[in-house]
A and B are shown apart, each in its own frame.
Chain A
Amino acid sequence: MTQVSTVAAAGAINASKIYGKDDSEVRALDDVTVDFALGQFTAIMGPSGSGKSTLMHCLAGLDALTSGRVLIGDTDLAQLDDKQLTSLRREKVGFIFQAYNLIPTLSALENITLPMDLGGVKPDQEWLDTVIDKMNLRNRLSHRPSELSGGQQQRVAVARALASRPQIIFADEPTGNLDSKTGAEILAFMKHAVTDLHQTIVMVTHDPVAAAYADRVIFLADGKVVAEIDNPTSELVLDRMKRLGS
Chain B
Amino acid sequence: MMASPVVRLTLRGVLARKFRILLTILAVVSGVAFVSGAFILTDSVKGAINNLFVELRGEVDLEIRTKIAFGDSARAERDPVPVSLMKDIAALDGVRLVEANLLRQATIIKPDGEPLKTSGPAFGISWTGPDGLDGRTLLEGAIPTKSGEVAIDKASAKRAGYVLGDSVTVVGPTGKGEFTLVGLTGTGSTSGGGGASVCAFDPITANEFLGAENKADSIYVGITPGAARSDVQKAIEKVLPSGYEVITGEQSAKETAGAINKIIDIFGKVLLGFAAISLFVSAFLIFNTFAIIVSQRLRELALLRAVGASTRQIHLMIIGEGLVVGIIATGLGLLGGLGVAKGITFAFNAAGAAFPAADLLISSRTIILSVLIGIGVTVAAAVVPALRAGRIPPVAAMRPELGFSALQRSKRLIVGIATLATGIALFSIGLFVQPGGTVGTLGGSALGAVLLFLGVASLSTTVAAPVSRAISRILPFPLRPMTNSVPGRLASRNAQRTPRRTASTASALMVGLALVSMVSVVAASVKKSFTDQLKTSVTADFFVTNLSFQGLPVAFGERLAALPELGSVSPFRATRALINGEEKQIGAVKPEMGDLVDIKVEKGSIKSLADGDILLYKDPARDLNVDVGDTIDVTWQNGKTSKLTVGGIYADSSVAGNWLIGLDTLAEVSSAPPVDFFIGAKIADGVSIEDARAAVDKVAADFPSAEVQDQAEFQKSQEDQLNQLLAIVYGLLIFAIFIAILGIANTMALSVFERTREFGLLRAVGMSRRHLKRSVRWEAIIVSVFGATLGIVVGIPLGIAVAIALPDSFVTATVVPINTIVTILIASVVVGIFAAIFPARRAAKLDVLDAIATQ
Answer yes or no: are A and B bound together in one complex. yes
List residues of chain A with CB within 8 A of the CB of B2: 117
B304 at the interface (CB under 8 A from A): yes
Tell me the chain A residues, 83-102 only, with Cβ under 8 Å from chain B: 83, 86-87, 89-91, 95, 97-102
In the complex, which residue of chain A has the Cβ closest to the Cβ of B10? A105
Q: Inside 8 A of B4's CB, which chain A residues have their CB?
A: 117, 120
1/0 per residue, CB under 8 A from B, across A111-127: the answer is: 00011011110000000
On whether A104 and B398 interact (CB within 8 A), knowing A90-B307, A90-B308, A160-B307, the answer reads: no
Task: Check: A103 CB closer than 8 A to any chain B CB.
Answer: yes
Distance, CA A119 to CA B306, complexed state (A): 13
| CB-based contact A105/B13 at 8 Å | yes
Q: Is the CB of B308 within 8 A of A97?
A: no
Interface centre among A53, A97, A101, A103 (most CB of B within 10 A): A103
Residue of A87, A104, A114 ringed by the most chain B CB atoms within 10 A? A114
In the complex, B12 has a CB within 8 A of chain A: yes
**Complex-state Cα separation, A100 to B398, whole angstroms:** 9
CA distance A63 to B393 in the complex (A): 9
Contact across chains for B394 and A103 when beta carbons are under 8 A apart: no
Q: Closest residue of chain A to B301, judged by CB?
A: A103
Contact indicator per residue, chain B 282-315, by CB within 8 Å of chain A (1) or not (0): 0000000000000000011001111111110100
- Give Cα A99 to B400, complex, Å: 12
B395 contacts A100, C-beta separation under 8 Å: no
Contact present for B395 and A82 (CB under 8 Å):
no
| Bound form: Cα–Cα A117–B317 in Å | 14
Nearest residue (CB) in B for A53 is B398
Any B CB within 8 A of the CB of A57: yes
**B12 — which chain A residues lie within 8 A by C-beta?**
105-106
B13 (CB) vs chain A CBs: closest residue: A105
Would you call A35 an interface residue if the criterion is a C-beta within 8 Å of the partner chain's C-beta atoms?
Answer: no
Give the complex CA separation of A195 and B227 in angstroms. 103
Report B-chain residues with C-beta under 8 Å of the C-beta of A86: 305, 308-311
Check if A110 is an interface residue, CB within 8 A of chain B: yes
B16 at the interface (CB under 8 A from A): yes
Tell whether B230 is near chain A: CB-to-CB under 8 Å: no
Closest A residue to B306 by CB, please name it: A95
Contact of B306 among A62, A82, A99, A110 (CB under 8 A): A62
Residue contact B308 to A172, C-beta cutoff 8 Å? no
A172, B8: Cβ atoms closer than 8 Å? no
Interface 1/0 per residue, B569-604 and A, CB below 8 Å: 000000000000000000000000000000000000
**B9 and A97 contacting across the interface, CB-CB below 8 Å:** no
Bound-state CA distance A185–B22 (Å) is 43
Interface size class of B (residues with CB under 8 A): 20 to 34
Are B397 and A97 within 8 A (Cβ)? yes
CB proximity of B569 to chain A, nearest CB, Å:
81
Flag whether B5 is at the interface (Cβ < 8 A).
Answer: yes
Q: Which residues of B have CB within 8 Å of A172?
A: 398
**Smallest CB gap from A160: residue in B:** B307
CB nearest neighbor in B for A62 = B395
Interface string of A66-84 (1 = CB under 8 A from B): 0000000000000000110
Closest CB in chain A relative to B354 CB, distance in Å: 54
- The distance in angstroms between the C-alpha atoms of A120 and B304, with both chains bound, is 14
Whether A119 lies near B397 (C-beta < 8 A) is no
Residues of B within 8 A of A83 (CB): 310-311
Note all chain A residues with C-beta closer than 8 A to B724. Answer: none
Size bracket, chain A contacts = 20 to 34
Instruction: Give A87 to B305 CA distance when docked, in angstroms.
Output: 10
Whether B91 is near chain A, meaning CB under 8 Å from some CB there, is no
Alpha-carbon gap, A125 to B307, bound state (A): 19
B855 within 8 A of A: yes
List, in ascending order, chain A residues with CB within 8 A of B313's CB: 118
Closest CB in chain A relative to B790 CB, distance in Å: 37
| Residues of B382-406 whose CB lies within 8 A of A | 393-395, 397-398
Q: From residue A19, how far is it (CB to closest CB) to chain B in Å? A: 11
Partner of A118, one of B5, B16, B393, B395: B5
Contact, CB under 8 Å: B394 / A100: no
Q: Cβ of B694 < 8 Å from any Cβ of A?
A: no
Chain B residue at minimum C-beta to C-beta distance from A102: B303
The chain B residue with its CB closest to the CB of A161 is B307
Interchain CB contact (< 8 A) of A89 among B5, B394, B855: B394
Instruction: With A62-B394, A118-B313 as known contacts, state yes or no: A103 contacts B300, CB within 8 Å.
Output: yes
CB pair B16–A89 under 8 Å, yes or no, is no
B303 and A101 form a contact (CB under 8 A):
yes
Within the assembled complex, what's the spacing in Å between the Cα atoms of A144 and B305?
20
A105 contacts B395, CB within 8 Å?
A: no
Interface centre among B2, B303, B307, B393 (most CB of A within 10 A): B307
Q: Which residue of the partner chain, among A62, A100, A105, contacts B299 with CB atoms under 8 Å? A: A100
CB of A110 within 8 A of CB of B309, answer no
Residues of B within 8 A of A57 (CB): 395, 398
Q: Which residues of A contact B415 (CB under 8 A)?
A: none
Contact B9–A100 (Cβ < 8 Å): no
A89 in contact with B306 (CB, 8 Å):
yes
Asked if B414 is at the interface of the complex by the 8 Å CB criterion, the answer is: no
What chain A residues lie within 8 Å of B304 (beta carbons)? 103, 114, 118
Partner among A53, A87, A98, A106 whose Cβ is within 8 Å of the Cβ of B8: A106
Across the interface, which residues of B come within 8 angstroms of A62, CB to CB? 306, 393-395, 398
Residues of A contacting B368 in the complex (Cβ-Cβ under 8 angstroms): none
In A144-186, the 8 Å CB interface with B consists of 160, 172
- Alpha-carbon distance between A83 and B312 when the two chains are bound, in angstroms: 9
Which of A100, A105, A115, A160 contacts B855 (CB under 8 A)? A100
Asked if B15 is at the interface (CB within 8 A of a chain A CB), the reply is: yes
The minimal Cβ–Cβ distance linking A35 to chain B, given in whole angstroms, is 23
Given contacts A62-B394, A105-B15, A87 and B308 within 8 Å (CB-CB):
yes
* CB neighbours of B305 from chain A (8 A): 86, 89
B855 lies within 8 A of A118 (CB): no
Kindly supply a per-residue 1/0 record for chain B positions 600-619, scoring 1 wherever the CB is within 8 Å of any chain A CB and 0 otherwise.
00000000000000000000
A8 → chain B closest CB, angstroms: 22
CB proximity of B325 to chain A, nearest CB, Å: 16
B11 to chain A: closest residue by CB: A105
**CB proximity to A under 8 Å, residues B4-54:** 4-6, 8-9, 12-13, 15-16
A89 near B308 (CB under 8 angstroms)? yes
Given contacts A110-B8, A117-B5, contact A105 B308 (CB under 8 A): no
Cα separation A12 to B304 with both chains bound (whole Å) = 25
Chain A's closest residue to B307 (CB) is A115
Name B395's contact: one of A63, A87, A91, A104 (CB within 8 Å).
Answer: A63
B6: chain A residues within 8 A (beta carbon): 118
Residues of A within 8 A of B308 (CB): 86-87, 89-91, 114-115, 118-119
| B contact residues around A90 at 8 Å (CB) | 307-308
Residue of A nearest to B15 (CB): A105
Across the interface, name the chain B residue whose C-beta is closest to A113. B5
B309, B393, B855: which contacts A99 (Cβ < 8 A)? B855
Contact B855–A103 (Cβ < 8 Å): no
In the complex the two chains form, what is the Cα distance from A219 to B4 in whole Å? 43
A91 to B546, CA, bound (A): 83
Give the complex CA separation of A29 and B609 in angstroms: 100
Output the nearest chain B residue to A106 by Cβ-Cβ distance: B12
CB-CB under 8 A from A91, the residues of chain B are: 308
New A-B contacts (19) at CB < 8 Å, excluding given A62-B306, A87-B310, A100-B855: A53-B398, A57-B395, A89-B394, A95-B307, A95-B397, A101-B303, A102-B303, A103-B304, A104-B16, A105-B15, A106-B9, A110-B5, A114-B304, A115-B308, A117-B8, A118-B304, A118-B310, A118-B313, A172-B398
Instruction: Show 27 A/B contacts (Cβ-Cβ < 8 Å), sorted by A.
Output: A53-B398, A86-B309, A86-B310, A86-B311, A91-B308, A95-B307, A97-B397, A100-B299, A103-B9, A103-B303, A103-B304, A104-B16, A104-B300, A105-B9, A106-B8, A106-B12, A110-B5, A110-B8, A114-B308, A117-B2, A117-B5, A118-B5, A118-B304, A118-B309, A119-B308, A120-B4, A172-B398
User: Which of B's residues lie within 8 Å of A, judged by CB?
Assistant: 2, 4-6, 8-9, 12-13, 15-16, 299-300, 303-311, 313, 393-395, 397-398, 855
**A-B residue pairs, 8 tightest by C-beta:** A90-B308, A105-B12, A117-B5, A62-B395, A115-B308, A86-B310, A115-B307, A105-B16
